Amino acid sequence: MNSTGESTAFSVEPDNRVFLTSKLPKDSRKEICPSQVQSPRTRRLPKGKRYENRSAVSSWDSPFSQRPRNRLTEQELHAVSEKLSQRLSELDQGPAMHRRPPYRSHSLSPSPVNKNKQFRMERKRQRKPKKADVHRFQAKAITEAFERELRRNEVQENIGPLGINEEETEKIYRESAHKGTPKRSQSWKMYPRNTTTTSPRGGLPKPNKAVPMKVNEHSLLPLMLEQFPFLYVSGQTLSKMWKQQIAQIEQLKKDAHGENWSKKKLQDETEEALRRHDLLTALVKKEYEHNKRLQDFKDRIQRQKLTQSKIKENRQQIVRARKYYDDYRVQLRAKMMRMRTREEMIFKKLFEEGLQIQKQRLRDLRNYAKEKRDEEKRQHQNELDSMENYYKDQFSLLAEAISQERQDLKAREKSQAQTLHKVKRELRSKMEKEIQQLQYMITRNDDDAFFRELEAERLRSRLHMASFQHSKNPFP
C-alpha cells in the first residue's frame, strides 16, 4: 500500500495462473496474466516514443477523446441484445418443438372431412404471425435505436457541444419503432415464471430470497425489460425511457470528467511499478505456459464427457417439457389480453423510481470514492517503497501456495461433482412440484394485476438492495 492510493497483491487461481492485482484510487482492479504482461502501456519504448506516449496520455483528458468509453458501451449493448435474442429464441422454440402431430384415423381410406379440417388448420396457422419473429423484431428495434443514440453521442463529442434538436431524436425513435416493431399477435400471451412459493397453510405466497442485482450505467432499462419479457410497452413510452436513461448517463459523464485530470500522476507511478513487475514475472511465464497446455488437454477431455452427459439430460428434459407445455397451454387458452394499460403504468412508475434510486446511489458512491482517494493518496508513496521487498517474499511463498492449491482443487472438484448431482435431483423434483402448483394457481385465479404488483414490489426491493456501478475512468 502506497501513499498515493495504489495497492498491489498477488493471487493464485485454480488453473495455476498468477495474477497481480493493482487497486487504483477509484477502487478499480486490474488482473495481469503472465502471457499478457507486456501491454502497450508497460512495454519499454525508445526515448522519442516515450515522449509521444506522454503527450498522447495528456491528450486523453480532453473532452473530445472519450471514444474508448463509447466502444465499451457498444460492446455492452451488443452483449445485452444477444442475450435477449437468445432467451427469446429459447422460449419460442417450445411451441414449435411440442406441437402434437395431427390425429390420424385407423381406417385405410382417408376421410375427406379430416382433410378439410387439416387444410383449414394449416391456413389459420399460416395467417397467424409468428411470435418468435415479433420478439426478434422488437429486440432488433431496441438495439438499433440504442446504437443510433450512441453514434449520435460519439459524433457530438468529436465535433463539440453543438447539440441535436429534440425533433431529430424523436425522428430516430419513430423510424426504429416503425421499422422493427410490428404489431404483436393477440392470440398468445406468455407469463414469466413466478418465483413465489405457497405457504403450507394456504393464503398469500411467500417470495423467495432473490440474489442482489448489479446494475451498470447502461443496463437499467434492458434489465427491467428482461425481468418483464412479455410485457407490452408502447413505442412512445419506450423512447421516453431511453431518453431519460441517456440524459442521466450524459450528466454523470460530465460530472465525472472533472475528476480525471488528477489521476494522471497516479497512472505514471503505476506504469513504473508495472515495469518493475514485468522483470519479476518473466520467470513465472515459462512454468505458466507449460501448466496451461496440460490444463487445456484435461479440459478438452472433460468437455467431451460433459457434452455427452448434457445431450442425454437434454433429451429427458425435452420429454418432460413437452408434457408440461401441453398441460399449460390447454389451461391458459382463455387468458390473453388483460390489464395491459395498468401493467404499463406500474412498469413506468417502477422505472422512474429505479432512475431516482440509481441517481442517488451513484451520487453516494462518487462522494465515497472521493473520500477514499484523499485517504489513499497519503499511503501511496509508502507502498511503492515497500513493494520491492514484498515481491521477494511473495515469490518464495508462491511455489508452496501453488502446490497446496492443486491438492485443494482436486478435492473440491470431487466434492463439487457429488454435491451437484444431488442438487440436480432435488431441484428437478422441486421444480416439478412448483410448476404443478403454479398451473393450479393460474387456472383458478383471475386477478393478474395482483401478481404483477407482487413482481413489481419484488423488483423494487431488489433495486433498493442492488449495487449500482458507474465507470468514471475514460480508459477501457
Query: What is the residue extent of each domain of the chain?
Result: 7-61+262-326
| Between 51 and 81, residue with greater pLDDT | 81
Q: Please, which contacts does 185-191 make with residues 24 or more away whose CB atoms are closer than 8 Å?
A: 185/128, 185/129, 185/131, 185/134, 186/336, 186/337, 187/128, 187/336, 188/131, 188/336, 189/230, 189/332, 189/335, 189/336, 189/337, 190/91, 190/229, 190/230, 191/230, 191/442
Beta carbons within 10 angstroms of residue 222's beta carbon: 22
- 164: Cβ–Cβ under 8 A, 6 or more apart, which residues? 152, 156
Once rounded to an integer, what is the mean pLDDT over residues 255-274? 76
Once rounded to an integer, what is the mean pLDDT over residues 467-475? 60
459 in Cβ contact with 350 (< 8 Å):
yes
Beta carbons within 10 angstroms of residue 364's beta carbon: 11
64, pLDDT greater than 80:
no
- Mean pLDDT check: name the lowest of 38-47, 218-227, 301-310: 38-47
> CB-hemisphere CA count at 13 Å for 85?
15
User: What is the reported pLDDT for 469?
Assistant: 66
Q: DSSP letters of 2-33?
A: -BTS-EEEEEE-TTS-EEEEEE-TT--EEEE-
| Mean per-residue pLDDT over the chain, rounded | 68
For residue 184, give the DSSP letter.
P
222 in Cβ contact with 80 (< 8 Å):
yes
434, pLDDT greater than 70:
yes
- Mean pLDDT check: name the lowest of 56-65, 91-100, 109-118, 325-334: 56-65
121, pLDDT greater than 50:
yes
Indicate the pairing of strand 206-207 with strand 29-32: unpaired
User: What is the reported pLDDT for 458?
Assistant: 86
- Cell for 384? 511503492
66, pLDDT greater than 50:
no
- Mean pLDDT check: name the lowest of 79-93, 217-231, 298-312, 379-393: 79-93
pLDDT > 90: what percent of the chain? 2
Tens of pLDDT, residue by residue over 411-429, are 888 888 889 988 998 998 8
- Cell for 32? 495481469
Q: Which helix (H) or strand (E) holds 367?
A: helix 340-444
Angle at CA of residue 362, ends 237 and 247, nearest 5°: 35
What is the rounded distance in angstroms from the CA atom of residue 476 to the CA atom of residue 473? 8
What is the rounded distance in angstroms from the CA atom of residue 413 to the CA atom of residue 417? 6
What is the rounded distance in angstroms from the CA atom of residue 237 to the CA atom of residue 427? 39
What is the rounded distance in angstroms from the CA atom of residue 337 to the CA atom of residue 183? 14
What is the rounded distance in angstroms from the CA atom of residue 273 to the CA atom of residue 349? 49
475, pLDDT greater than 70:
no
| Between 205 and 472, residue with greater pLDDT | 472
- Cell for 178? 416503425
CA-based max dimension of the chain: 94
User: What is the reported pLDDT for 33?
Assistant: 41
Nearest alpha-carbon partner for 246 in 197, 301, 173: 173
What is the rounded distance in angstroms from the CA atom of residue 25 to the CA atom of residue 6? 6
Residue 399 pLDDT grade (very low, low, confident, very high; cuts 50, 70, 90):
confident
Residue 202 pLDDT grade (very low, low, confident, very high; cuts 50, 70, 90):
very low
Tens of pLDDT, residue by residue over 2-60, are 444 444 444 434 344 434 344 344 443 433 343 343 443 334 444 444 444 444 334 43
| Between 216 and 324, residue with greater pLDDT | 324
User: What is the reported pLDDT for 37?
Assistant: 37
Q: DSSP letters of 301-324?
A: HHHHHHHHHHHHHHHHHHHHHHHH
pTM of the model: 0.21
476, pLDDT greater than 70:
no
Residue 318 pLDDT grade (very low, low, confident, very high; cuts 50, 70, 90):
very high
Once rounded to an integer, what is the mean pLDDT over residues 249-268? 76
What is the rounded distance in angstroms from the CA atom of residue 237 to the CA atom of residue 16? 51
Q: Which helix (H) or strand (E) holds 221?
A: helix 220-227
Tens of pLDDT, residue by residue over 158-187, are 654 444 445 555 555 455 444 444 333 333
State the Rg of the chain over Cα.
28
- Mean pLDDT check: name the lowest of 9-13, 129-133, 194-198, 466-470: 9-13
208, pLDDT greater than 80:
no
What is the rounded distance in angstroms from the CA atom of residue 144 to the CA atom of residue 148? 6
